[in-house]
Structure 1
């Protein structure tokens, strides 16, 4: 089949090089755009590398295979310091920020630029100076991170083979980081005139120096226009090699998590990070499995395009860690790996792994029509339902949708709407629950402070008064308890249904607020498992992510016809949503489950008789005979669910039935 270009929505495609571009690649040249920016090519079978790095030798489990460096390059950090700093970079204990250069005059700083004179733009009337300045402004303005900048060169002059520019002091760091970048076929050298390295980089500690170096690696490898982060052939990166990070396996294994942590710190929100980066290349890294790069799936889980070509994956088992990740993935490249020979049928399995995959190795595997049909609402009902989801008239569904919207936005109104003077609410904190092994969250001291005071964990609270004080009854008490909990944001039930698991079934014997049914009425028991984010009340920014389990007993009553009888909430550390993914369970279905009653009331029905009809027969017989539900059901079972015979049998044995066979009227 002919190779096709990547069809990713709302982004420029990653095109495989052809013709002259491919020829230049064979000669080892780097491909640049008209401004001299390095562009990222898709590696397809037979064309090994992406970007300007030479493919490393295949083999080994490390992220990269270290290559020899030129003589005379000094070690950036000592071995002990480097290990400690990489560890701290991965842990995020030092904030990443850009320093302001000092020693400028009048707010302007002068930089010198050399190496530009041999560029492809040298034939221009001014030797390429104006094109160089435009490229510098553009490249320095486009950066990773939430903050934007508009870098402008205030003054410029040419003296021999050196161009001098004057820029605002706050833009010096962005420009100095471009030292060594390729422009129009040549590498330019950018230095501050009369400035020290420390004043250029604004670095005050070794940890910040390492983070600044990693930030420079990321920015140099990021293509602002295509939204692609090129992390291919990291073992050939000159900055990483200068820092000697590949000398030992201990630092080699930490470099990628450190890069991902610096990437996270560059953005204010996850949404901005996901919008900025939609494609990543990990080609030519000698990867035999995902051990060293697994954190990519936590940092950039919404990737559209992923290139894993020309590594050392011998089978799909090497990629199992990402089988349930990257739900939005549209284009995956695996060409140039041994699995092409060891498992030639692997494409069929990979297509199953990624439900939104359109292209595999630049070949279309799904059409837009197929994806549209697959993602139709009927295929993903509210929300992902377990085999036990019984509802009547959409009562349970409407309650769940309304309740969590109210809990996130107006808890006082929610308490008044659903809770009455007989409604109970309690919550417990489970501090021992297993955490998501893939989570990047850090455990902090006092992380449960806002919950512990009123937590009704019966394993820890053994005194009866303490247990009673932690159970809240009535709308005011419940509302006050709601208010004391952190502000939350739950995943959207419509667009993020995979993060929820909901069970519901009819619950007989729910107290009747009107008192007309002494034995109670039918309600629902609803059990929900999911997650939420705590929100900072001052900024509205998302903070700690938690998992929760919540059980409701609801019955008739209240202003909307539904009231909460009981509400029990358990909060625990975030444990992930993998257990809720229907792809993990062959028995799950996207179709609504058949209604089920509690096991002790499940009747043995003859062929052709549905549970709904049987329930109506039990209710009608109960009305006409005043028998309890259980006795009415037993009577109908004995006569093979013949309603008329049931009435006749009742009439013949009525005098011999015990008192408990009848509903007792107060």
Structure 2
């Protein structure tokens, strides 16, 4: 099939918010011949920090990557790209030699500074320079706006090309009571902010994908890459296995930038061909599976796959795969019975090497019978609450938190009650939401967020730990007004568990070893409310843990400890327990010893996840491949760790 060009996609820079004040403009404002405002006085410093440009053998920057000879530089560039770096920093040329780029700003005209003579333009310019400077990674290197003009409701500013990324990072911030919006310069793509060899490598790989993607057939043609003229000139896909192992992770990283979210990739790419690439195993190409997990057609023909072990890295991946081609590989002669294993790995597979192995109906039944992507069936919550103490507490607490927090704090908390808040800015979002790129705006929570991995200084830790009803109520008063779903009307939006726990401190002092209490864990969602209008302005998910003990309040219950975690909205689909007769992935796992129960397997997955940092589903796959031998699974992980993509690992929360 012939690949056609794919149109370049541009993505807006992520927006954030800020509550910083407005800096006053210093110095006189000058105009050039065109009437544009000149924002710099003569002789002012304009130094900045930038990434290094790509160098040729003579040391010059900007030479196209294709003009270089095949050497170790290609491997180094690949390593930089896969690590998310654009090159090695070095001093830049004077900004006066850099071209200017125009950025259009809207939403600013209704600001509180509009009463000034220029409608707040000078104040906005000064504020933008200050904000951009503090966000460019080099506080002493000031970002300067060279020109500005007002075009109707739009403010057009001109900055050095290298300063564009720093200015765009202020997109969506609050200036004098209004959110500003910025439009990326048309002549710049999101990757322009990354200079040097890494950026040129991205441009090369983007060009390769543009030429090899067919939008009409949704085919990504990656066949015979070693003989692609543009790639061959760089030496990136040479005979070195180490370099080749880094090529595909880099290529997949660029694919994610081009094709967007997982859902967008699912719709854009249905087929991939890797024909004639001399690939000996899935180790070098393993990142294709998490990047395009919903492939329907995969061509691996004319490579060097010799046995089932060489394909095992993709076992149980590509759950929706319908057609697989392995012809022209040594496995056909050395392991002629591989067909049975392959069809077992892919329950929805209908064609293998062009030969039908299942009917469409059989494939549909198999896919329906396979357990979901989670490693184990989701069980219902455990709620042990004989006297309905926890039930009454929950029913009263959240309506009170939404309506009268001060009264609630005095009702359930005493002088020894503790509360702390944590913000998880890296939590997974609901995949069904369309606007996953909307900024979350954590300003109302960040200063109260207490995370011991990030907040390392004792005074800061102590200042974010609240004890007693007055301190807790004062902290709650700074948080946005909320509205939680009604437990009776929307029980599916909650996951609540309760277990009795011993050794809860006795406030009366009569039991030195403590008394029995309750541990309540809740997962749910809430809306932040705009008080004047009463309308919801933001939806979030939360996790909350309470330790309840006996107290002297009206209900005889006090909150010993209250820990609240706030995160982006993640939906509630994971709360729904699976059917009791659902197929167990552990019981059905190929090669699992008969003595491995679901409970034992769960513990093994949890422990392997803890030791490796992988997501549970990948820990389970690793254990399956090791025959549920835990030590062997650890050895397997250690052997392939360097080749695993970032998607295999749990994204650590941004601790603030």
TM-score range, shorter chain: 0.3 to 0.5
Normalising by structure 1, we get a TM-score of 0.39
